Every structure is written in structure tokens, then in C-alpha cells.
Structure 1
């Protein structure tokens, strides 16, 4: 039977690496969750306003990982008459 040295996982270096990774992973998870929630709100608002959402537009909204951009789309979705108007730059 072969034994494996697991001492690294109990070492100070390992504990320090885990302590650093937790906040980074937590913040990343929060940002992803926020983007997902905002995307759901955009889609919901458009649907409630009777706007047809193409598969391409749905994919664009749900795959976006920038909460600020999605928040802008949410603002636009309130008064949008088409899904394409979300993605238009203000003139």
C-alpha cells in the first residue's frame, strides 16, 4: 500500500493560500450572481411589456457578465418597444 504525504494541506502556506482565495472567490460569485439576477429582470420586464425576445437577444442578455451594462439594459427595458432598442447606443 502506498502512502501519500498530505502535510502540505495542513501547512501554513496552504492555510494562507486558502484564506486568500476565499474572499476572491466570494466576490467573483457575488458578481456572477448579480449579473444573472439582473439578466432575469431584463428578460422578465421585456416579457411583461409584451416584447418578443429573440433567441440571440436572450443569449446576449443572459451571457453578459457586466452588471453595470445589464443594469443599463434593465433601465431601457422599462420603456423599450423592441428588444433591439436595448442594445442601441444613445445618440
Structure 2
């Protein structure tokens, strides 16, 4: 029996796959936010970069991304 194409179908395996997708989506939103800030010429300190990259809540990241489009300072996106 070959295990090459076997996909675990347990609830636990599905949960891990879902968590992986959410984490990947959060990383993508964090990258998008950092890209917007850079394109707008807003300076990003290392602590701000770490805060953005550490966030795993896609709703929060989406909110920050929306605010970044009009913010005049990086601090405004966190208010």
C-alpha cells in the first residue's frame, strides 16, 4: 500500500488544514498591509512590523489595511 497520495480525513487533520489556511491568509494580509504602508511612504519601525506580522486575526488585519489607505501616520491604523 502506498501512502504517497493518502490524505488524512479525520476531524483533527481537517482542523490543522483549516488553521494552516487561516495562518496563510493572515500572513498575506500582513504583507499587503506592509506593502501599502511602504507604497504610501509611511515609515514602519521594527516594532510596528513585528506587531503587524504577529497578528493572526484576519478581521483585525483587514481593518488595519482599510485604515492604511487614508492614514497619515502608521499609528493611526491601530486606533
TM-score tier (shorter): 0.7 to 0.9
Alpha carbons 1:42, 1:73 under 8 Å: kept: yes
Q: How many residue pairs were aligned? A: 72
Q: For residue 41 of structure 2, what is the aligned residue in structure 1?
A: 50
Q: For residue 67 of structure 1, what is the aligned residue in structure 2?
A: 58
- Aligned with residue 78 of structure 1, among 57, 66, 69: 69
If each structure's helix is expressed as a fraction of its own residues, which one has the higher value?
1
- Aligned with residue 27 of structure 1, among 18, 34, 44: 18
- Once the two structures are superposed, what CA deviation does each residue of 1:17-75 show, in whole Å capped at 9, x if it has no partner? 96122110111001100100000000000000000001111111000010000000000
Q: Distance in 2 between matches of 1:33 and 1:39?
A: 10
- Tell me which structure has the larger Cα radius of gyration: 1
Point out 4+ residue stretches in structure 1 off by more than 4 angstroms.
none
Q: Distance in 2 between matches of 1:71 and 1:58?
A: 16
Unpaired stretches in structure 2, ≥5 consecutive residues: 1-7
Give the aligned CA root-mean-square deviation in angstroms: 1.3
